[in-house]
Amino acid sequence: MTATEGAETLVREGASPGAVVRMQLALPVTLVTAGAVVGLASAQGGYFPTSWGLSATLLLWVTGLWIVISGRTDAGRIDALFLGLLTAFTCWVGLSISWSTVAAQSVLELERTLLVLAGVTAVIALARREHVPRLAGLILASITVVSTYALATRLFPDRLGSYDPVAGYRLSDPVGYWNTLGIFAAMGALLAVGVAVDAKTRWVRAGAAGSLVPLAATVYYTYSRGSWLALAFGLGVLVAFTPRRLRTVATTLVLAGPAALGVLLASRPYALTHDDASLAQSSTAGHRLAALLVVLIAAEVGLMLVLDLLQRRIAVPRAVRLACGTALVVVLLVVLAGVFMREGGPVSMTRHARNAFSASPHGTGSTSLNSRLFSFSGNGRAELWAAARDDYRAHRWTGAGAGTFERYWQSQKDASFKVRDAHSLYVETLAELGPFGLALLVCALLVPVGAGFLVRRQAMLPAALAAYAAFLVHAGVDWDWELSGVTLTALLIGSLVVVAARASSTRVVGKGFRVGATVAVVLASMAMIVAYLGNGALARAQTAVTDKSYVSAIDDANRARRLMPWSPWPLISRGDAQLAAGDSKDAAASYRHAISVDSGEWRAWLGLALATKDRTRAAAFAHARALYPRSAEIAEAAARLKDATKG
């Protein structure tokens, strides 16, 4: 049975008992996939530690139940290679704690990576080859739901409470970061094309076509140049890999019309594209645009139904297909030649692009966000990548430890802006985990690409590979990996390709493997429960300090300290609460304790400076400045104390 036939069996009316059993088997992986994509992506993209522990535990328990109750799988060598490399990378992240320059941050990176590994493992364990078409449509639907909500925050800011021009007015909720929301929606757009071309049910194809309108508008309002480039790259991969090239290109061109018109309409209203608009203006313009987009969605659905009817009735001869393909190649070559003639050739274009990318970002003097799409500035990425290169040179073999780039960047005298990541998965991995860690990561990520060559003739798989490839490219120029919900979504799309490449029949895994896997799941879930409790207590302590609930803050900080003895942050939070409550002596003791845990944490030294006087204060300020020379927070604290002393 092929994957397509399996998908038809799952939804056929009057199905046989065997089909009902297969539908029941599809339910767990359906719930896990939808829950992981929608749940984590909606929780600020799964960026914060409070979203990792419980999510990872639930995913691990799903795998554990599968091991104990079933243990049946059709997984083969490619699945084992994919999971093996991801597991090896996770172990290397954990091992880096032993030499890390910021051990507490490396522990957090291990927790994040365990969450991603748990999600991929659960889907690989539960999925079957016949589930792939259904899961592709499910991931598309999940991405569309999250992206449509994100778009609604722009169109209905008066109802969803997401009007925030101070933050740059770029669409980010609920994922939390505009560029990553952009690639998230772009992956959905590529899947939508694949489902529209390959799905067996015409209404599924029509629904996929309709999703292109909100997905394209979402990408637009993020103003993410990298997402548009990644989307274009993904379309190139799709056309290159699919054996249904003419149908794919024709469908894409037809469906691109309403989606492009939606983007054009979205770019016109002043109140939706300028960061100086009022809430009332944005609400009025958003409501009008929402009505127009609904019309375009209906038009997209209608176009797909008409196109479907034409494709069923018209058979295109092979000679015509070859002629169309040749014409397409000729058009692309002509366009490239025109670009080269205008810009001075590939060498000149490369030099100009490099200079523009490396140039320091500067304001345009305009409140329009549309102008951002036509800038090639890297917004400081060249500086970040150079710093990561220097960090790697200082730790050539093992790297400085997972999650340590922020500490290294802060120590630089020219660190003119605040960041936590190097804005490139591969550059940062090299700096933090060394060449071996980077090799493990790249090899793991390339497994679905290799599997794609084996299954490119199967329905929806070229689109899945295109969406996955778009993420891999975008991750090279941004910090998508840190948002575990989006990363897991991309790896689940890649997992579809791996699952589709299976060739073996269903079997029960061996007893020895099941025992070992059960032990691993139990230990990992216990660790993630502790992480969940510790991260939750720390987050409550930090919130309580902000809310001036100092007694609660101290209690939660002490609880976090017991659960996270390797981390200085609970001690710093306790010190912050004690200092705010007027207990400078105990606050100083808490900060000193934090320094004994991690002497490189500038926040602990700053806290000690604020809690002490005279020479101790001066020495603490000096330590804090040495650790973070360009910190605005340290400079402001020093200025306040100086003014208070004069007064």
Region 222-227 average pLDDT: 92
pLDDT > 90? residue 37: yes
Q: What percent of the chain has pLDDT over 70?
A: 85
pLDDT digits (tens, 9 = 90+) for 258-288: 999 999 999 999 888 887 778 888 889 999 9
Q: What is the pLDDT of residue 159?
A: 80
Instruction: Using the predicted structure, report yes or no on whether residue 48 has a pLDDT greater than 70.
Output: yes
**Residue 268, φ and ψ in degrees, nearest 5:** -85, -45
User: Average pLDDT of 18-23?
Assistant: 44
What string of DSSP letters covers 456-483?
Answer: TTSTTHHHHHHHHHHHHHHHTSS-GGGS
For the chain, the average pLDDT equals 87
Q: What is the pLDDT of residues 70-104, one digit of tens each?
A: 888 888 899 999 999 999 999 999 999 999 999 99
Is 461:452 a contact under the CB 8 Å cutoff? yes
Q: How far apart are CA 294 and CA 262, in angstroms?
A: 10
CATH of 526-646, one of 1.25.40.10, 3.30.420.40, 3.20.20.70, 1.10.10.60: 1.25.40.10
What integer is the mean pLDDT of 165-180? 79
Token digits of residue 264: 């054009």
- Chain centroid, CA 423 distance in Å: 12
In this prediction, residue 160 has a pLDDT band, given cuts at 50, 70 and 90, of confident
Task: Report the pLDDT value the prediction gives residue 238, as an integer from 0 to 100.
Answer: 95
Average pLDDT over residues 141-148: 97
pLDDT for 301 beyond 80: yes
Residue 418 pLDDT class (50, 70, 90 cuts): confident
Structure token digits, residue 528: 């993630």
pLDDT: is 560 or 72 the higher one?
A: 560
What is the residue whose two structure tokens read 């109140």?
Answer: 271
Judge whether 222 and 179 are in contact, CB under 8 Å.
Answer: yes
DSSP letter (8 states) at residue 97 = G
Those residues with Cβ within 8 angstroms of residue 156's Cβ, 6 or more apart along the chain or in another chain = 283, 286, 287, 290
Indicate the domain borders of the chain. 20-357+416-509, 526-646
DSSP 175: T
Distance between CA atoms of residues 166 and 420, nearest Å: 21
Give whichever of 24-33, 409-418, 580-589 has the largest mean pLDDT: 580-589
Range of lowest pLDDT (79-83, 230-234, 240-244) = 240-244
Give the pLDDT band (50/70/90) at residue 449. Answer: very high
Q: Rounded mean pLDDT of 238-253?
A: 89
Mean of pLDDT values over 569-591:
96
pLDDT at position 26: 77
Structure tokens at 317: 């001869």
Are 462 and 238 within 8 A, CB to CB? Answer: yes
As a three-state string, the secondary structure of 361-419 is: CCCCCCCECHHHHHCCCCCCHHHHHHHHHHHHHHCCCCCCCCCCHHHHHHCCCCCCCCC
Going by pLDDT thresholds of 50, 70 and 90, the confidence category of residue 326 is: low
| Dist. CA 184–CA 176, nearest whole Å | 12
588, two tokens: 């100083």
Model confidence at 366: pLDDT above 90: no
Q: What pLDDT, on the 0 to 100 scale, is given for residue 395?
A: 92
Residue 181's closest CA among 291, 189, 269?
189
- pLDDT value of position 413: 85
Find the distance separating the first CA and the last CA of the chain, reported in whole Å: 83
User: What pLDDT does residue 122 have?
Assistant: 95
Look at residue 360 in the predicted model and tell me its pLDDT: 60
414: nearest Cα among 387, 392, 393, 377: 387
Identify the pLDDT of residue 355.
Answer: 59
pLDDT at 166: 41
Name the CA dihedral angle for 392, 385, 175, 94, rounded to a multiple of 10 degrees: 0
User: What's the pLDDT score for residue 17?
Assistant: 45
| Residue 244 · residue 459 · CB < 8 Å | no
10: pLDDT strictly greater than 50: no
Statement: residue 14 has pLDDT above 50 = no
Measured from the Cβ of residue 73, the count of other Cβ atoms closer than 10 Å reads: 19
pLDDT-based confidence at 543, cuts 50/70/90?
Answer: very high
List C-alpha distances in Å: 142 to 132, 372, 545: 15, 29, 36
Q: What is the pLDDT of residue 250?
A: 87
So what's the pLDDT on residue 161? 62
Other C-beta atoms closer than 10 Å to the C-beta of 326 total 10
pLDDT for 479 equals 93
